[in-house]
């Protein structure tokens, strides 16, 4: 397995997921409503696919240090995403903005670390 290909595919999955996250954050930040459930599910599916790919790489061939830290941050972001989805989105309650921003911040730092790992 070529680790560089794995890292760049994961970067692509997370980047697309991040684009959806930006749209969702915009919907919630600039309106008094939650983003559509289909977009939240697609966002989580793509991020989950990227995380699964990274975990596969970690357990089979190993990951560079920056990518390992990215995995840890993505796992934390995933916990936040599940909390937002099950705790609020599913109950049709407005997503709390501070938690949403923290989720985004952790994921973006993870994406930056992943890009650094893919480049290096």
* The pLDDT value given to residue 3: 95
**Is the pLDDT reported for residue 6 higher than 90?**
yes
- 106-119 in b/e burial notation, b at 16+ Cβ within 10 A? bbbbbbebbbebbe
Cα–Cα distances (Å) from 77 to 60, 102, 106, 111, in that order, read 23, 8, 6, 11
- Taking the chain, what is the end-to-end CA distance rounded to the nearest angstrom? 17
**Is the pLDDT reported for residue 1 higher than 90?**
no
| pLDDT tens digits, one per residue of 26-48 | 999 999 999 999 999 999 999 99
What pTM was computed for the model?
Answer: 0.94
DSSP string for residues in 62-83: ---HHHHHHHHHHHHHHHHHHH
């Amino acid at each position: 397995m070529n680790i560089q290909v794995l890292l760049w595919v994961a970067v692509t999955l997370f980047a697309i997921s991040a684009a959806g996250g930006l749209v969702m954050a915009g919907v919630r930040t600039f309106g008094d409503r939650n983003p559509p459930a289909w977009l939240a599910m697609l966002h989580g599916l793509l991020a989950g696919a990227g995380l699964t790919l990274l975990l596969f790489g970690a357990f089979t061939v190993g990951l560079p240090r920056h990518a390992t830290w990215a995995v840890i941050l993505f796992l934390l972001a995933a916990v936040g995403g599940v909390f937002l989805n099950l705790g609020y989105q599913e109950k049709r309650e407005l997503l709390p903005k501070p938690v949403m921003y923290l989720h985004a911040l952790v994921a973006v730092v993870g994406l930056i670390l992943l890009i650094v790992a893919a480049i290096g």
